[in-house]
Amino acid sequence: MDWLLPLYSEYIEREFQREGGACPGNSLEEAFMGTLATSTATLYIMEPTSGSNIRFKGLGQWLLPEEPEFLADPNAFIADRFGGGKYKVNFHHGATFVCTHNFRTWGEERWRNMDEVLFE
């Protein structure tokens, strides 16, 4: 989960400032853990189309506390379930966008035979 704190830190610090204060000492880690409790990860495959175009095909969305395997090793989580490819994960805290992160995994492209998941 250490890989995710740097991605969330800017968002958390902005939230502290918006609420009128700086992020004191260990509060960043505490705020991070609290934020994760209501955060989601939305997974897309960057599917090549004609020419140099890509399409983002939705594959899944999870509450982060419910997917400790993803938090522990996102590359293994993605590769084990969806196979090889270039993936984009959007992180949200509630309805608020936090950040995005790209992953590259290798192996059989199992995602090609999966139905697209549409998100609101």
Q: Where are the domains of the chain?
A: 5-113
Residue 64 has a pLDDT of: 96
Domain 5-113 has CATH 2.60.40: yes
| CA distance linking residue 119 with residue 98, whole number of Å | 17
Residue 88 has a pLDDT of: 98
Q: Considering only CA atoms, which of 41, 53, 52 is closest in space to residue 97?
A: 41
Per-run averaged pLDDT (10 residues), the chain, 120 residues = 90 81 69 92 94 93 96 97 98 95 96 92
Residue 84 has a pLDDT of: 97
Q: Is 103 left (phi over 0), alpha (psi -120 to 50) or beta?
A: beta
For the beta carbon of residue 38, count every other beta carbon within 10 angstroms: 13
Q: Is the pTM of this model over 0.85?
A: yes
Helices (H), 1-120: 5-18, 27-36, 68-72, 74-82
